[in-house]
Amino acid sequence: MVEILNEKESEPKATHCVTIASFLNTINEHADSILKEDCSFIFINVSSFKTFNQNYGFAQGDLFLDFLTDKIHDAFPTDLLGRVSGDRFLLYVKTIDTGKIKSSIGKIQEDILGYKSTIPLHINCGIYINDKKDKKPTQMIDCAKLACDYIEDNLGDYVMIYSESIEQELDFKHYIITGFDQAVKNHYIQPYFQCEVRSLTRKICGYEALARWIDPTYGFVSPGVFVPILENARLIHKLDLCIIDQVCQVQRAAIDNGFPVQPISVNLSRLDFLLCDIFTEVDNLRKKHKVPIKLINIEVTEGAFAQANTPLETGVENFRKAGYQIWMDDFGSGFSSLNNLQAYQFDVIKIDRMFLKDMNENPRSRIILASVINMAKTLKMHTLAEGIETEEEFNFLRSIGCEKIQGFLFGKPKPCDPDVQMDDNCEASDIHNYYDKMGEVNVISPSPFDTSMTRIFSEEAIAICEIEGERNLSYIFYNDTFKDLLAHLNIHSKEQAQDRAKESGMRENDMFFELAKKAENTGKIESTDLIINGAIINERLKFLARSGDKATFLLSSTNLSSQKSIQQAQNIQASMRHMLTLYFRIDLYDEDGSVENIYLNSSQNRITDESTDAVEAVSMYADNYLPEDERDNFKNYYDITTVQSRLKENNVEYLVGFYHSIVPEFEDRTQIYILLPFKINQRQKYLSLARNMQYPPDYEKHF
């Protein structure tokens, strides 16, 4: 009651509203009877009235208060109304019917909403229902005010009925606010650390520092409770700086103890940037403890960027210029996600768990999440998914290229002893950048080698075409690549292409329209190759929709004649054919003792047509084509079981043997037999290459 009595008294202009002094005098005079009556007290406060005064002036503010006084009187015509001060009122009503009271308040709200103002106004009403438990009227008024004050911290409500739990909660808030400095001093508030795991390796590559309050009176105080209280009390910057100071101490101790040091992310709120020069404060703490910038990451919640905020923008830019990484926390939890990505450059976006909700039941969740990852990679941002609890979630995120994972699957937040290494399964400090570079690869992109930020549209030649009737073709849409393809075919406009499609007697037109019919009938993507102006064009069609005699298709066209990859393949094939002519036979030996002839360019028999056993085939070959004095040496040379040991003994990558031929076409010519080892699907193979020497050497060496 002290606060109300100390208010500067406002003189109400309406006759049905009394001053607070007159109101209290009347209540005190009838205090004994009020204790026994079915009655209630209502404390009323106008929300946003200060803003209204700033925009419209005090004269208009007074007019609004007169309007409000009239509407309160209309809703409670026989009850006592007093004006506490400014935009605050007290009502004494002779009823405990909460439904009736709320209905009357609802009428007042409707009247206020109809008031001509660009500032949205409404009233908050705290109600105390007399329970006849010996509370004095002044105490009842205090309770009504407590209920009204409670509304300010609980958006969405405008009527609150007093209960003891409200008083207990308000007492607790008071305890948090008044005890905050002592909690910091006594280290009741400390950081807990939750690990961040690299999806490629499952090794810890960082931590997030989370504030925890272990109170001697209340025990563990949830951050979901004390953080909003400190935000409303404008103390949140002190909390965040307290945590950051301790994080820097942990990092310094890890460095001094020679532990593998992982970057730690610290959280900043929008208010931090408004209440202090948060960049200078954080950077001074880092410098004080001599911690490298790369070991402190700055996380800012997505909601902080929801509205224009010059101090925040300046602060974020200062952090970035100094070399700190800027992470967006809770990406996807608000309505401004895409706007934020457009306006700010983030190093990492932390993807909110909401994207994984119903992942198994709703395939759209997977599509959306993959799209977010793809978008982030295109914008050159790294990705971290938080709240991961199952292996299935982890495996999916890994498959789409999400780089880092955080959640109970890998550990709950825990305290840290600076003199003990936090975890053993940690990534080496000097390898972070190496894995970060790997993480930049967009594994779900159709062109993972293309890291250009501007390449966000397909480079395929794409068009949407419409066929009316049997053969009337028109292009509804086509991209620049399709336009370039037409130009390469000497077709320089959409109209020219459409007119060409109408010409009869052209085989490519007939094939195109037949392809369209097939695509519509099968519902599949159908493809064919056409010759258009001398070029080979691969056409792929997908049926989209039909309306009457009109049908639309998605068309993808590829100029096979100009594709570098195809030309390169053709060149390689031609080169290989010429390379084969250097040899008169090529055989392939397997570790299982079998042999297969894969190329023969001589009058010799394949031999392997008679036997695929390597020993038998080599023996038959030696007996048929080599001089008698070289046959045993040749058979030993082709002993596949000893090839590896001979390679190792001679420190060579392949074996070379020189022999002579008794075949008339090669008689007395020296021949080279090469054994080249390689593996296919983990099986050892040996390629045997035989060719004639162009000029006989001065010596022959047998291995």
CATH number, residue 645: 3.30.450
Structure confidence at residue 254 as a pLDDT band (50, 70, 90): very high
Structure confidence at residue 517 as a pLDDT band (50, 70, 90): very high
Q: Which of 518, 534, 561 is the last residue of a domain?
A: 561
Q: CB neighbours (10 Å) of residue 428?
A: 11
Structural domain contains residue 170: no
d(CA 445, CA 44): 59
Judged against a pLDDT cut of 60, whether residue 445 lies above it is answered with yes
Same domain membership, residue 262 and residue 193: yes
d(CA 139, CA 564): 88
Same domain membership, residue 158 and residue 185: no
Structure confidence at residue 337 as a pLDDT band (50, 70, 90): low
The 10s digit of each residue's pLDDT in 48-76 is: 888 887 788 888 888 888 898 999 999 99
The 10s digit of each residue's pLDDT in 653-691 is: 899 999 998 887 777 788 999 999 887 656 888 999 999
Structural domain contains residue 172: no
Structural domain contains residue 171: no
d(CA 408, CA 125): 42
In the prediction, which pLDDT does 408 show?
Answer: 93
Q: Which two tokens stand for residue 656?
A: 């070379």
Greatest Cα pair distance, the chain, in angstroms, is: 139
Same domain membership, residue 181 and residue 87: no
In the prediction, which pLDDT does 446 show?
Answer: 61
Same domain membership, residue 646 and residue 579: yes
Same domain membership, residue 433 and residue 316: yes
Q: Which of 518, 536, 561 is the last residue of a domain?
A: 561
What single string gives the DSSP state of each residue in 432-487?
Answer: HHHHHHHHTS-TTSS-TT---TT--S--SEEEEEEEETTTEEEEEEE-HHHHHHHH
The 10s digit of each residue's pLDDT in 452-466 is: 544 444 567 888 888
- Total structural domains within the chain: 4
Q: Which of 103, 135, 162 is the last residue of a domain?
A: 162
Structural domain contains residue 128: yes
Judged against a pLDDT cut of 90, whether residue 281 lies above it is answered with yes
Same domain membership, residue 261 and residue 158: no
Judged against a pLDDT cut of 70, whether residue 612 lies above it is answered with yes
Averaged confidence pLDDT in the chain: 85
3-state DSSP of 172-189: HHHHHHHHHHHHHHCCCE
Judged against a pLDDT cut of 50, whether residue 158 lies above it is answered with yes
Identify the DSSP state of 560. G
CB-based contacts of 418, cutoff 8 Å, min separation 6? 249, 250, 253, 254, 257
Same domain membership, residue 435 and residue 465: no
Between 225-229, 253-257, 354-358, 516-520, the lowest mean confidence (pLDDT) is in 354-358
Structural domain contains residue 624: yes
The 10s digit of each residue's pLDDT in 129-155 is: 998 887 888 888 988 998 888 887 555
Give the CATH number of the domain where residue 322 resides.
Answer: 3.20.20.450
In the prediction, which pLDDT does 563 show?
Answer: 60
Same domain membership, residue 522 and residue 487: yes
Structural domain contains residue 657: yes
Judged against a pLDDT cut of 80, whether residue 564 lies above it is answered with no
Q: What domain range is 406 assigned to?
A: 177-439
Same domain membership, residue 42 and residue 126: yes
Averaged pLDDT, 409-416 = 92
Structure confidence at residue 114 as a pLDDT band (50, 70, 90): confident
The 10s digit of each residue's pLDDT in 393-407 is: 999 998 888 999 999
In the prediction, which pLDDT does 313 show?
Answer: 87
Structural domain contains residue 702: no
Judged against a pLDDT cut of 70, whether residue 121 lies above it is answered with yes
Single-letter amino acid code for the residue at 140: M
Judged against a pLDDT cut of 50, whether residue 577 lies above it is answered with yes
Convert 651-663 to b/e letters by CB count within 10 Å (16 or more is b).
eeeebebbbbbeb
Q: Which two tokens stand for residue 688?
A: 């045997």
Structure confidence at residue 216 as a pLDDT band (50, 70, 90): very high
Structure confidence at residue 156 as a pLDDT band (50, 70, 90): low
Q: Which two tokens stand for residue 312?
A: 């925040």
In the prediction, which pLDDT does 438 show?
Answer: 67
Averaged pLDDT, 283-297 = 96
The 10s digit of each residue's pLDDT in 4-41 is: 444 444 444 545 788 888 899 998 988 888 888 899 99
Judged against a pLDDT cut of 60, whether residue 3 lies above it is answered with no
Structural domain contains residue 452: no
d(CA 237, CA 244): 10
Same domain membership, residue 181 and residue 120: no
The 10s digit of each residue's pLDDT in 456-500 is: 445 678 888 889 898 899 888 888 888 999 998 889 898 999 998
Averaged pLDDT, 163-174 = 84
Structure confidence at residue 250 as a pLDDT band (50, 70, 90): very high
Same domain membership, residue 661 and residue 643: yes
d(CA 641, CA 620): 18
Q: In percent, how much of the chain has pLDDT > 90?
A: 39
In the prediction, which pLDDT does 703 show?
Answer: 38
Same domain membership, residue 621 and residue 523: no
Averaged pLDDT, 504-532 = 86
3-state secondary structure of 280: helix
CA dist list (Å): 343 to 211, 306, 346, 379 = 29, 11, 10, 12
